[in-house]
Amino acid sequence: MKMKKIILSALTLLMGASAFNGCTSWIEEDPDSFITPDMVGDSEDAASQWVTGVYSKWVNDMFRWGYFPRVLEQDADYISGPDWLFGSFGAGNFQGTDDALALQDALWNGCYNLIGRANLAERHIRAMNNITDAVKNNAIGEVKFHKAFAYFLLVRAYGPVPVQPEVDTSDKNQPRQSVDSVYTYIINNLQDAAYMMYKNTDQAYQAGHVNAGSAAGLLAKVYATMAAAAMPAGTQITVRTGGAYDGDGDDKAYAPLRSMTFSKRAVSGYENMDSHELYTLAAQWAHDVITGEYGDYELLPYNQLWLKSSCTASEFMFSVASADGNDTYSTQVHTQYAGYLMAPGSDFIASGGWTGCTRHWYDLFEHDDYRITQGVRHRWRVNGHQDGNLGFFYPLTEEYSIMATGTNLAGERVGEPSGIYADGVSYYYNMTSECLAFTTKYSDVTNAATENADANWPFLRYADVKLIYAEAENELGHPEEAIIHLNDVRRRSNAAEASLTGNGALDTQEKMRSAIIEERAKEFACEADRRWDLIRWGIYLDAMNAIGTNEDSNGNKTRTERNLLFPIPNSEFNTNHAITENNPGWA
């Protein structure tokens, strides 16, 4: 994992890490510009170069080829897509297919490449003498944050993993460390980062970078992840789920949501952790972020939240962006979720728009919740619709069927298309992966007609910190505090406020717990969060198998014990002889 060289262009050196994590500057990589550690120097610019080299790994190694965020996203209950995309990894086949192997390689190797560069950067920044302590500390803090986040991705996905030595070594034979040891390393790095980095209110802070609040917020999430996983087996959680359809053929119809109560299974590696102590720490860190100890943060108004102009707003505590149309520093997030247009301003999607949410996810929401009224695409047209003047509409409900077609669900004419559908286009719906609850989160980009658009990927938002705080306070026996922060998130999206009394009251710890977990499913849909919530709460197998093969796009959600962890790639066994066994169920 030792990094011999970092590739940085002259433009990269000037702009620093914000070019990779912000959205107001762009990178052009010069493949002939090789800058070795000896050439970087000892200055504030040099420290910035090292930090930039760490940020760049998120895009160039992990997101660039389109495997991220798929490896984090597809294996979840409310996510769906076409069989050619979901038929391997999305169906639980984490090993043995080219697609699954590529996805695994992106996560394992991508994270360790980032960690290797972070260790190298930290060593060189620490050795600098010609920079102020504040600049040095902030640069080291940023590097530590990214290293910690990479290990957080790894330990959730693989369980015990190697912790690479921070010292310069060529020894690739590093054994797996226990889950609690990895978390100790993550926590130590994040605690250091929280105290070393600038706050977002400091004059020296650069918008788009991670900051002290980013580290504190991630610490709250790390502690909550450990705490939930350590909760006793048998803890009750209710999930609204079930098979997608009733009937078959001409009688096929969407099945209603069913409330199913699952009993938590023990989560391997977390058995000896103290959930109460961990939730206490999660609450403390989240509280300190919320009360401003680490900077100023706010929930953006929903109509501003997913605008490209908002991507460095304080709600986005850690996000990864890319350069528009750039072959090296580009992602396919926009293509995967929204699809790219045939030409700028075109009405037709040329390709993409493959990953969406299921009808059961859509039905979790109240009628006027902005996360479906504004956050879901309700009409769109693809390349094949040009000749027939056609288009898709969503969802298949009485209301939308009448607005889009003038007919009710029984096929009876009750009027003419109205509202946005009264444009002369013949809209229709089908029960395939062509018609899913497609998010609009990644639609606002500089050029919607390019495959490599500059969509912003949100790894950590302030809304997450609010819901983590609500979760922790509920588990600590403080529902009055929990519901305040749950309702802050709901109110932003025009959802009715939850209550501790009256009809539908969240008047037990289990009801509040289930409501918060469901709120997370709604708020962070298509943000690669759902699988990891199911895993940490020990309900992954039950939630997936409640759907089984009865899935919106005819995909397969059936899972077994081996799916709880990803298999370690064979490439690691070939180079790291300290690892001799794969995760259970994987060869």
Give the CA dihedral 569, 570, 573, 576, nearest 10 degrees: -60
Start-end of H helices in 317-440? 333-337, 359-362, 370-373, 398-405
In this prediction, residue 37 carries a pLDDT of 65
Which of 27-41, 133-147, 165-179, 408-422 has the weakest average pLDDT? 27-41
Report the alpha-carbon angle 230-68-164, nearest 5.
Answer: 60
CA distance 19 to 23: 7
The pLDDT-based confidence of 38 (bands split at 50, 70, 90) is low
- Give the pLDDT score at 16: 36
Q: How confident is the model at residue 14 (pLDDT cuts 50, 70, 90)?
A: very low
The pLDDT confidence band at residue 325, using thresholds 50, 70 and 90, is confident
pLDDT of residue 39: 58
* Mean pLDDT value across the chain: 92
Give CB contacts under 8 A, 24+ apart, made by 303-307.
303/370, 303/374, 306/375, 306/440, 306/441, 306/442, 306/443, 306/444, 307/444
pLDDT at 3 over 60: no
Q: How far apart are CA 144 and CA 160, in angstroms?
A: 20
Which of residues 35 and 467 earns the better pLDDT score?
A: 467
Helix (H/G/I), strand (E/B), else coil: 249: helix
- Closest to 586 (Cα-Cα) out of 163, 101, 67: 101
Q: Which two tokens stand for residue 498?
A: 């939850």
pLDDT digits (tens, 9 = 90+) for 341-390: 999 999 999 999 999 999 999 999 999 999 999 999 999 999 999 999 99
pLDDT per residue over 130-172, tens digit each?
A: 999 999 999 999 999 999 999 999 999 999 999 999 998 888 8
> CA-based angle 454:459:460, to the nearest 5?
125
State yes or no: pLDDT of 489 exceeds 90: yes
Of residues 514 and 102, more confidence is placed in: 514
Residue 137 and residue 202 in contact, taking contact as beta carbons nearer than 8 Å = no
Q: Please say if the pLDDT value at position 123 is more than 90.
A: yes
Which pLDDT band, with edges at 50, 70 and 90, does 327 fall under?
A: confident
Residue position matching structure tokens 């949501």? 257
pLDDT (0 to 100) of residue 91:
95
pLDDT confidence band for 60 (50 / 70 / 90): confident
Going by their DSSP bridges, the two strands 390-393 and 426-428 should be labelled as parallel
Alpha carbons 285 and 215: distance in angstroms, whole number: 10
pTM, two decimals, is 0.94
Confidence band (pLDDT; 50, 70, 90) for 64? confident
Nearest to 175 by CA among 573, 565, 580, 579: 579
* Residue 36, pLDDT score: 61
The predicted pLDDT at position 30 comes to: 33
Q: Cα angle vertex 540, ends 534, 543, to 5°?
A: 100
Indicate if the pLDDT at residue 431 is higher than 60.
yes
Percent of residues, the chain, with pLDDT higher than 90: 86
What are phi and psi for residue 444, nearest 5 degrees? -85, 95
pLDDT at 274 over 60: yes
